[in-house]
Structure 1
């Protein structure tokens, strides 16, 4: 998968915006202002594409034990975020999309009820 496919996948979700809140190289996707995916563009340009995704802590550990390409979130909470190394080719596109969905759902689940209802 390439960055544009993943970008479009993220943008097709409800109430998602993209921005560069940290620097010109870190593309961030948010749902109702809450981050769920961070793409370091300089790594993608260098052929080493990866993404930071929010994850349930128990599921995060399970994934890290099962896949070399899923590691504790770089520059993020190691409990709640994973770095998903797409460039290694170990992960199927379906799994990557599932992990993006999971991240989005985790962020939505943590929102106040009124915010969650606005997505209906």
Structure 2
């Protein structure tokens, strides 16, 4: 199960690192054109903040146990991603972007598994 948790955390880290870097580096208009229509509902600063939080979560899922420094950050980062995916699903629901919610739910469930495993029976 430890290997499974590492694989899930790695997958989440890649997804959120990519998404976060994209939000931080690209202008709001380009994000909206590329399919992230939800960005129209948020200020540029908020979008950048979301991107930074995604990058920090990606780092928090991988680096602490690798460096053996405060590995409790892994489940905390996973909980942060769960909360972000809840907020994302609510945003998509309000905008009636129902197909997008499925992706949020999948990522939420993966992050919840990491949080459960690393807070519980498979803590570092």
What is the TM-score with the length of structure 2 in the denominator?
0.30
Higher strand share: 1
> Higher relative contact order at CA 8 Å, sep ≥6: structure 1 or structure 2?
2
Higher helix share: 2
Q: Say which one has the larger Rg.
A: 2
